[in-house]
Amino acid sequence: MENNELEEMRAQLATLNEKLESESIVDRKHFSEATKKHVSELQRKLIGRIIMFTLLTAYFYWKLELGIFLLWSLGLLITSIYVYLIVRKGDSVSMPVTEYARRIRKARKIYKIANMTMWILTILLILAWGTYVFILNWPSNIAEAFAVFFVCSLIAFIMGISYYINNVCVSSYVELMIEDILIDLDKDYQDAE
């Protein structure tokens, strides 16, 4: 690519700007949508999680027989609040692209670990419960013992596969983008050294 081609790109961008100049693009509806929403999509998601885990924590606290889940929901509540604070602090206004990417990466990493812990714990609890019922009914009621154990194993298996597909196989677009940015920059720093 010589200067000509770069100049061509510049001309194409000018064409784009010219085309956009004749379009109004935004109207009153866009402004009212923007001004009535005070949090971004990511923040809204996290607020949803915080509400959910607060309710769950309260529920498990009062339902003593389910106390085993209390630590689990409390842990996830704290993590969600922590991630929310990281995201909130990392305002996209004052931060340059790379700094913002680093902050979001940190938040997503914590979010991912918390998510993984939740899934693994849930799977283990389902399996443990299935085993407990199995032992309890064995050998007096073999059919029920096997049925419960089978259903629990099946649920655990489906949950495991679903987690694997959603979180291990499919990296989200955002993560790929952030990794792209940071790998690129790290490479540059190494070259500079």
The minimum distance between CB 96 and other proteins, in angstroms, equals 3
190 binds other proteins (CB under 8 A): no
Residue with the two structure tokens 């889940």: 69
- CA–CA gap between residue 8 and residue 14 (Å, rounded): 10
Which residue number, 161 or 188, has a Cβ lying nearer to other proteins? 188
Provide the residue type at 170 as one letter: V
Which residue number, 17 or 140, has a Cβ lying nearer to other proteins? 17
Sites for other proteins among residues 164-183 (CB under 8 A): 172-174, 177-178, 180-181
Which residue number, 15 or 141, has a Cβ lying nearer to other proteins? 15
Stretch in the footprint of other proteins (CB under 8 A) among 41-49, 121-129, 139-147, 151-159: 41-49
- CA–CA gap between residue 182 and residue 103 (Å, rounded): 11
51 binds other proteins (CB under 8 A): no
- CA–CA gap between residue 192 and residue 92 (Å, rounded): 27
Residues near other proteins (CB under 8 A), total: 56
First to last CA, the chain: 28
Interface residue with other proteins, options 101, 123, 126, 152 (CB under 8 A): 101
Which residue number, 60 or 103, has a Cβ lying nearer to other proteins? 103
Report yes or no: 45 and 7 within 8 Å, Cβ to Cβ.
no
Q: Using alpha carbons only, how large is the chain's radius of gyration in Å?
A: 25
Interface residue with other proteins, options 64, 65, 93, 143 (CB under 8 A): 93
Longest dimension (CA), the chain: 85
Interface residue with other proteins, options 62, 99, 124, 128 (CB under 8 A): 99
Report yes or no: 119 and 72 within 8 Å, Cβ to Cβ.
no
